[in-house]
Structure 1
Amino acid sequence: MKVCGIMEVGHAQAAVDAGADAIGFIFAQSRRKVSLDAAKEICESIPSSVMKVGVFVDAGKDEIEKTAAECSLDYVQLHGNETPEFIQSLSVPSYKALPIKEKRDLDGIEEFPGRFILLDSGHGSARGGNGTTFDWSYLKNISIDKKVILAGGLNSNNIEMAVKEVNPYMVDVSSGVETNKVKDIRKIKEFIIKAKNISRMKEEVQ
C-alpha cells in the first residue's frame, strides 16, 4: 500500500499510522512536486520499515542518485522515457512505471530491470496522478515476472474491485485520497484501512 504525492509531514504520518507500506515523493514537474528540503524532513519522520520512493520523469542520472542519497530513498520510480539500459545503470534500486492505454502497451514489460513494475493509466495529460483507470482486464491471462504495483484512479470505491481483478503486489494511490487537490487525512486512512482489510480477507480465504 503506497501513498504517493506526499508533501507534508502530517500527511505522511497519517499514512504511516494507518498502515502504509510506502510513501511516494514527486520530484518531477507536477502540482505535487516536493522540494528537496521538505522531502528530507518528511523522510526523516518516516520509520525505516516504510519504503521511501522518489518519482522522476526523464531526470539525469546524477540528479536521481543525488536526490536518492540526500533523502535516503529506498527506490526510485521512473515515469518518463527511461530505457532499460539507463535504469540498469543507476546505483539506487529502481523500477519503471508504464502508462497503459491499450493492451499492447504491456508488450516488452520484461525488458525493464527491477523487482517491481508499476502499471498506471495512460489516460490523462500528466505522466501519472490523473485520477483515471485503465482496463484491468488487460492483465488477465498474462504472466508478468515482476511484482506488480497497480496505480491509476484508485479510491475507496473501486479498490475492492481492483484487488479482485488484478491481485497486485501493491496498490498506489494519490488523487484518490485528495480533496480539492490536497491530501485528505480522512481519505488516506479510509483508503488504507479498506485496502488492508481486502488483502487480509484474501489471505484468510487462501
Structure 2
Amino acid sequence: MGRTRIKICGITSADDGRLAVEAGADAIGLVFHPDSPRAVSVGQAAGICAELPAFVSAVGLFVDPDGKQVTNALSGCPLDILQFHGHESPEFCAGFGRRYLKAVRMGTGTDLENLAARYGGRRLLLDAYVPGQAGGTGETFRWSLIPGDLAPEMVLAGGLTPANVVEAVRTVRPFALDVSSGVEERHGVKSAERLEAFVQGVRDADNR
C-alpha cells in the first residue's frame, strides 16, 4: 500500500512545528478557534509557517467561522489547506480558493456515503462525536463505522496515540492521520518523544 500521510495538529510555536517536521509530518495544523486551548493568532501562525520547509503543508482549522475570519487568516498567513469543524456547507468550504477538509463527528447515525458525495471523499476528516465539542477531545470512535470502500480516501482523527496508531492504520487503512493531544506533553505543547513514536508507528504499520 502507499504511505499514510501524517498531520500534526494544534501547533502553537515554531519550536513545536520544527519537532513535527523533524519527526516526519507531512502537514501541521494551526487552530483559529478561540475556545481551543491550542488556539493561535494570525501573527503567531505566520511566524510558525515562516519556519516550515518546502513540501510541508500548513492547515488552518476553523469552527463555524464567518467569511471575514477566514479571509483575515489567509491574508496574514500562508495557509495551504483549510479545515472546517462546524456546520459549514460545501459551498462555504470551497469559497476561499484553497483545498479544504471537512470534519465529520462520527456517530452511529452518520451517513458517510452522503457526506462523501456532498463534500468529496478525500475532503473528509473523521473525528469522534462528543456532545458539545467540535473536536480535539482525545476520544476515539468505532472504526467499524467507516465503510471499507471509503476508508482509503479518509483522514482519520480522534484519540490517536503512539499506543494505538499501528492498529488504526492496519484496521482502517486511511489516506492520512490527524493527531493532536495524543502527541502532547500538555495542552498545546508537543512531545518530541511521542511525535517520533507516533510517526514510527505509522511507518511500521505501512510496512506490514
Tell me the TM-score normalised to structure 1 length: 0.90
- Rounded to whole Å, the distance in 1 between the matches of 2:8 and 2:60 is 12
Return the match for 1:65 from 63, 71, 76: 71
Residue 60 (structure 1) shift: 1.3
Greater shift, 30-39 or 117-126, is seen at 117-126
Q: Does 1:30 align with 2:36?
A: yes
Unaligned runs of 5+ in 2: 1-5
Q: Is the 8 A contact 1:103 1:138 kept in 2?
A: no
Q: Does 1:189 align with 2:193?
A: no
Q: Does 1:17 align with 2:22?
A: yes
Unaligned runs of 5+ in 1: none
Greater shift, 120-129 or 147-156, is seen at 120-129
- Equivalent pairs: percent with the same residue? 37
**Which residue of 1 is the match for residue 172 of structure 2?**
166
Aligned length: 200
- Rounded to whole Å, the distance in 2 between the matches of 1:173 and 1:59 is 22
Q: Which runs of 4+ in 1 moved over 6 A?
A: none
Tell me the SS of whatever aligns to 2:43: helix
Tell me the SS of whatever aligns to 1:129: coil
Corresponding letter in the other structure for 2:13: E
Tell me the TM-score normalised to structure 2 length: 0.89
Return the match for 1:198 from 184, 201, 205: 205
- Rounded to whole Å, the distance in 2 between the matches of 1:72 and 1:163 is 30
**Which residue of 2 is the match for residue 8 of structure 1?**
13
Relative to structure 1, the CA distance from residue 189 to residue 146 in structure 2 (aligned partners, 3 Å threshold; closer, same or farther) is closer
Q: Does 1:129 align with 2:110?
A: no
Residue 90 (structure 1) shift: 2.4
Q: How does 1:38-53 map to 2 (within 5 A)?
A: 38-53=44-59
**Which residue of 1 is the match for residue 94 of structure 2?**
88
Corresponding letter in the other structure for 2:11: I
Greater relative CO (CA pairs within 8 A, separation 6+): 2
Q: Is the 8 A contact 1:40 1:70 kept in 2?
A: yes
Q: Is the 8 A contact 1:68 1:76 kept in 2?
A: no
- Rounded to whole Å, the distance in 2 between the matches of 1:140 and 1:107 is 8
- Rounded to whole Å, the distance in 2 between the matches of 1:145 and 1:87 is 22
Compute the RMSD of aligned alpha carbons.
1.9
- Rounded to whole Å, the distance in 2 between the matches of 1:167 and 1:146 is 6
Greater shift, 45-54 or 89-98, is seen at 89-98
Residue 108 (structure 1) shift: 1.8
Residue 86 (structure 1) shift: 1.4
Residue 146 (structure 1) shift: 7.7
